Amino acid sequence: MTFDLFDALPADPDTPPATEPLGPGAVVLRGFARDVDTRLLAAVDHLSAQAPFRHLITPGGLRMSVAMTNCGEAGWVSDRTGYRYDPADPDSGAPWPPMPEVFRALAERAAASAGYPGFAPDACLINRYLPGTRLSLHQDRDELDLRAPIVSVSLGLPSTFLWGGLRRADKPARIRLAHGDVVVWGGPSRLVFHGIAPLADDDHALTGRTRINLTFRKTR
């Protein structure tokens, strides 16, 4: 007879589960990106030297408080004419920088462990938050193929993620997202309204007074 000592140990009540369900087809993978965090952040510095962060203007004429840039074959942009995926950076006319392999591999690995094997993102939106920055409730619906999930990676300062419902008026749950957490969502949750509450001021060892979010999409 074999006896495995570890089978006898109860779950540590202080250790939260690594995978938390958020809704149907949506999960938070706690700390999933931590093993590559410094490589991701170095890549963000490199990418934003080529395609600088900027504050986009919404179709309604408001300047977004989140600063954004992109990498990959297409980048998400907004201006007075609307939202779109553009193969070029409108500020320079040049193609967006290619998606680094460490980005692509992480997104594929996260999607697979959330039940979406074979995720092949063609776009990565990079969001930068400073204290006070917020992102109001919205749906991600500019992608042609809504069967593919979205993979969202949080780095640096923690944030409060607002997770609503399929109607704008649904009251959102508040979910804490910390450095290295990855949210994967698709399926019945793909069009859920979501946002980020105003970022609290703090200092993070790797990013200072900044939160970085990477969202990977398959746009076509």
Q: Which residues bind ligand MD6 (CB under 6 A)?
A: 127, 135, 140, 150, 152, 183, 185, 194, 196, 213, 215
- By CB under 5 A, tell whether 143 contacts Fe ion: no
Q: Which does 183 bind (CB under 5 to 8 A by kind): Fe ion, ligand MD6, none?
A: ligand MD6
Q: Which is nearer to ligand MD6, 6 or 167 (CB)?
A: 167
E-only strand ranges, the chain = 19-23, 26-29, 67-72, 75-79, 82-86, 123-129, 135-138, 150-156, 159-163, 173-177, 182-185, 194-196, 211-217
Distance between CA 199 and CA 34 in Å, rounded? 21
Q: What are the Cα distances from residue 31, in Å, to 16, 156, 158, 180, 183?
A: 11, 12, 12, 4, 10
- By CB under 5 A, tell whether 140 contacts Fe ion: yes
Q: Which is nearer to Fe ion, 140 or 143 (CB)?
A: 140
Q: How many residues bind Fe ion, per CB under 5 A?
A: 1
Q: Which is nearer to ligand MD6, 92 or 115 (CB)?
A: 115
Q: Which does 213 bind (CB under 5 to 8 A by kind): ligand MD6, Fe ion, none?
A: ligand MD6
E-only strand ranges, 73-149 = 75-79, 82-86, 123-129, 135-138
| Minimal CB distance residue for ligand MD6 | 152
Q: Which does 190 bind (CB under 5 to 8 A by kind): ligand MD6, Fe ion, none?
A: none
- Looking up tokens 């170095």 gives 42
